Amino acid sequence: MMCTRCSNPRKLDVKKSDTEGIKRAPTSKPPFTLADIKKAIPPHCFERFLIRSFSHLIYDITAVGIFYYLATIYIPQLPRPLPYLAWPHDEVHVPKTKSKLWSSVVYLNNPIGRTLTILVKLTLGWYFYLSINAAGRPYDKFASHYDPRSPIFSEKERGLILISDIGLLSFCYLLYTVVRIHGFAYVFCIYGGALMVMNAFLVTITYLHHTHPSLPHYNDCEWSWMKGAFATVDRDYGVLNKVFHNITDTHVLHHLFAHIPHYHAMEATKAIRPIVGDFYQIDSTPFFVALWRESKNCLFIEPDESNEKSRGIYWFRSQY
């Protein structure tokens, strides 16, 4: 089924200082179904390696994950310490309305303030999110990815979070032991520096995927699974697209079919674009330019006041 809106989705080329002319993504009910999209994707794109059949149990996945997690202390090339079993419960970069913004944001709405904000976001933002749910979904009480009692998790998940915390504490102790043996400078050079770069890209990639002037946000009355899936934008990181296994420029597909492996993601993305039309968004602005622009122009969301029927739809604003 072809989308009647557009059979050749556009690639957003946005000027550095101009976001007013950006065409907003559609907010109507898509004229296609998830099944229509899936039919357009070659069947082999859904295939994985054989190891999938050995990893269908949560205990197998957990055991492998924790082993890999603890191995990071001895293999510096592996990723950073993180609450392994809590990470799947990830709902970050949730924008606030103007009335719920911290007052300090007003004083940071200038080049110096934005520079400081971006530096903190890229160095400490990931840990602020995990520790105190900064930039995450709001809850009625304190939320943390480290706290088994956190409202982020259901009752059946609290034991898994405790296991994750034990793994994290074990990792920290091992890291402390290596520091005592080899010194802080050694650990920073072979591990800490790479960790900071990885964290900075993790925050940048997730932030830019879900923050763009063309993207709508919805309240409970307007939200649907399909609308939420398309509330993201693919980004072009140049040569880094390959470095990051194309997670940067195939994120829309990931929202729709998270189980498609990365080595088929580009092929599947090309297949769905004629079907989804303008619902597919991609921005080719260099990521460092986009990071500055979005930090300036996407400070908060406000309801769409164009008509009464769209009051449950929100758009980014930049002016106080």
In the chain, domain spans: 34-317
**Spatial contact of 226 and 3, defined as CB atoms under 8 Å apart:** no
**In terms of Cα–Cα distance, which of 173, 281, 160, 162 is closest to 231?**
281
Distance (Å, whole) CA 73 – CA 79: 10
Q: Which residue has the higher pLDDT, 115 or 109?
A: 115
pTM above 0.85, yes or no: no
Name the DSSP class of 300. Answer: E
Q: Name which of 105-114, 281-290, 291-300 the model is least confident about.
A: 105-114
Q: Read off the tokens for 108.
A: 């940071």
- pLDDT category, 6, cuts 50, 70, 90? very low
User: 280-302 burial by CB neighbour count: b if 16+ within 10 A, else e?
Assistant: bbbbebebeebbebbbebbbbbe
* Mean pLDDT, rounded, for 27-35: 94
Strands in 217-218's sheet, in edge-to-edge order, are: 217-218, 313-317, 300-303
Q: How many residues are there in the chain?
A: 320
How far apart, in whole angstroms, are the C-alpha atoms of residue 101 and residue 109? 12
Residue 180, class by beta-carbon neighbours within 10 Å (0-12 exposed, 13-18 middle, 19+ buried)?
exposed
- Residues facing residue 218 across a β-bridge: 313
User: In this structure, which amino acid lies at residue 168?
Assistant: L
Confidence (pLDDT) at 90: 67
**151 near 141, Cβ under 8 Å?**
yes
Count Cβ atoms within 10 A of the Cβ of residue 185 and give its class: 0-12 exposed, 13-18 middle, 19 or more buried. exposed
pLDDT of residue 13: 55
Q: Which of 50-54, 160-164, 267-271 is the least confident region?
A: 50-54
State the Cα–Cα distance between residues 308 and 315, nearest whole angstrom. Answer: 15
> What confidence score (pLDDT) does residue 169 get?
87
Residues 274 and 5: their CA atoms lie apart, in Å, by: 10
Extract the tokens encoding 107.
Answer: 């004083």
DSSP 310: G
Mean pLDDT value across residues 221-241: 94
**Cα 121 from chain centroid (whole Å):** 14
Check: CB of residue 222 under 8 Å from CB of residue 313.
yes
Angle at 222 between CA 254 and CA 24, to 5 degrees: 65
Cα–Cα distances (Å) from 204 to 132, 134, 142, 312, in that order, read 19, 15, 25, 28
Alpha-helical regions (H) of 41-110: 58-71, 104-107
Query: Whose CA is closest to 86, among 51, 133, 49, 120?
Result: 133
Give the CA-trace dihedral at 82, 203, 221, 250, to 10 degrees. -100
| Percent of the residues in the chain that have a pLDDT greater than 70, as a whole number | 78
Query: Strand, helix or coil at 235?
Result: strand
| Predicted pLDDT of residue 82 | 58
Mean pLDDT, all residues of the chain = 82
Q: Across the chain, which distance is largest between two alpha carbons, in Å?
A: 66
Per-residue CA distances from 99 to 32, 72, 105, 300 (Å) = 36, 42, 12, 9
